[in-house]
Each structure stands twice: as structure tokens, then as C-alpha cells.
Amino acid sequence: MGLPALRAFYWRFIGYILLEILAVYFTLKQLFSKHSKLTHSKTHRNLTAIVTGGLKGIGLEITRQLLQRGVTVITASLKKDTDHDTLKDLQTKYKDKIVTNLTINLGSLDSIKKFVEQFTDLGLPVNILICNAGVMIPPYMETEDGFESQFGINYLGHAYLTHLLLPHLRKAGTPDCWARVIFVASSVHYGGELRFEDLHGRVCYSPERSYMQSKLACVTLALLLDRRLRAEGAAVAVSAVDPGVVRSSLYQFAQWYHFSGPAWPLLLTTAQGSDCAVFAGLAGQLEGRGGLYIENCKPAAPNPLATDQLVQETLWRETKRLLGIESTW
């Protein structure tokens, strides 16, 4: 085995160990903590939410909770994940509410642009945007636009979607009812670093490190965007949430996934995993508050890199370059 191969093995091995340590730590932490959730039953009939990945896993439970509280929901899902039976069941159960699905591929900038065009044609506001969809530790793959899949889908796709929807969010937000953007991140963002010299892992790829990096990028963007929007006087609050360590098919690429049955009861259900995002989207005590990293429905300190303004600005500059966009925020 040559030196480059040894370096690659070491890079991936350390990333794997780091992610596993964080996963075990936060599993134990949630096991010995009281689970929190939004408890009020107030209805929000004048609000419209977009939920990416809203027909599957945590996203489906977010959709259900929003519908239960009277919110109009637009789910944004991959064509292959659009379960028409699930959508029909939701429409039947919540027949006095509005729920519809628009296809999106967060690994395609063209698809994201078409989604926003289709949404705009509906003539609805965007009061809540929940950036939930994602992939976790797959083998190296690239998106349609040539980005590493995790950084491209988990971060860049949602960054582009948020960018295109900002005019809708600015318009929807009022001093009495701010629009909200929520990035569903992960506790493992604490192990992430932003490798600006190799964001796509082409020099040395570690699925675990790339996943942690993508989630750190989401938290970093949330804090930057909230700061920028607040400075311009927009009534749009942006935060990131940790859903917890959840029983989910998101782990399908993990080596331990098919042998993890005994540990499953220690993890949160997908319904519990949706609670923090719903809290961030609807909690009255968060009205007008953003720039938060929320864990178990309570503000927590994020990875210090996410609060570093130089890191934030460098990430946004690189993001604009990769997405080919101009932005004043």
C-alpha cells in the first residue's frame, strides 16, 4: 500500500471513528434527557410551509404535525420518493387542510429552479421553509452539477432553494409573524470542518467527514443568513435544528445499519425526530428570534466554526461561486 493510499485510509478511518463517537455520545445524552416538543394546540390556518423530503421519514412526520396544526404544506420530494398512497392518505385524513407535492431533485440546480417556478405559479406565500431532505455517508457520488453528493444535496441544494425563495419569504414575513427558515442539521456537525481547498472530497474522500461537513455548512449558513437578513430589516428568522439520533433509513449506507436491531429502541422515533423542527417553525417563544442552533427544543451552542464570521463569509463566497449566483445578502 503506497503513501497516498495510507493517507486515504487514515483519513477515512479517523472520520468513521469520530462520527461513531459523536453518535454514541448523543444517543446516550438523549437517552438520559427528557424529550421536549411543542405542546400547544394553536392552529395556524394562514401559514404555508415547504418541507423538503416531506413524504418520508422525519419529513413525513413534520408534514403530519404541521397539518394537524392547520398549516398548508407543500412537500418537495424526489420523484422516486413521491409515495402517492402516502400523499392520498394525508389528503384524506386532513381533508380540510391543503397538502400537495411538487417534485424536486436537490442534486440538480435546474430541478430546484423548476420547483420554485411551479411553486410560484400556485400563488401561495412561504411562511416556513424546512430544509429537511438529505443523504448520509454514501459511497462517492456526484450530483448532476458535479458536486459531491452530500455537500451538494444536504447543503448546496438547500442553499440554492433558500436563495430562490427569499423574495417569497421576505414578502410573507411581518413584524407580528416572521417567516422562518429551518435547516435540519445534525449533532455530528460538531465533528465537521470546512475544507475549502477540497469541499468535494476529490483529493481524499471520507463519507463520514463529508456528511459532518455538509451539516456544519448548514448550521453556518443559517447563522450567516439570519444575521444578514436581520441587518437589512427583513422579518425572516433562520435557525438550524438537531433532530436527534433517530431510527431512520437515512443510515442505509452505514456499515452497521443492517446489524443495529438491538440498538434501535435506544433511538428516537421519526415522530420524535420531527419535534425539534416543528418547534422551530411554530413556537411562539421563538417569534422574531433566529440565528439559533436548537437541540431538543432548546437553544444550544453550535460548533464554534459556525459562529466564526470569517468562516461564514468564506463559505458564502464559495457557495455563490459554486452555484453561480449573485446576492446582496
Q: Are 179 and 169 in contact (CB under 8 A)?
A: yes
Is residue 155 annotated as part of the catalytic site, yes or no? no
What's 269's DSSP letter?
P
CA distances from 321 to 24, 59, 114, 134, 143 (A): 36, 30, 21, 22, 16
Question: What is the full DSSP assignment across 186-224?
Answer: -GGGGG----TT-TT-SSS--HHHHHHHHHHHHHHHHHH
CA 108/CA 256 separation, integer angstroms: 30
Instruction: Determine contact, residues 212/187, Cβ cutoff 8 Å.
Output: no
**Burial class of residue 171, CB neighbours in 10 A (0-12, 13-18, 19+):** middle
Those residues whose C-beta lies under 8 Å from the C-beta of residue 293, and which sit 6 or more positions away, are 185, 219, 222, 223, 239, 240, 241, 242, 299, 300, 301, 302, 306
Q: If you count DSSP H runs as helices and E runs as strands, how many of each does the chain have, helices first?
A: 10, 8
Q: From CA 295, how far away is CA 277, in angstroms rounded?
A: 10
Of 155, 160, 190, 211, catalytic: 211
Q: How far, in Å, CA of 158 to CA of 303, rounded?
A: 20
Orientation angle between helical segments 158-172 and 109-122, nearest 10 degrees:
20
What is the side-by-side strand order in the sheet with 298-300?
99-103, 72-77, 48-52, 128-131, 179-184, 236-242, 293-295, 298-300
**In DSSP terms, which residues pair with 77 in a beta bridge?**
103
**Residues assigned a catalytic role:** 211
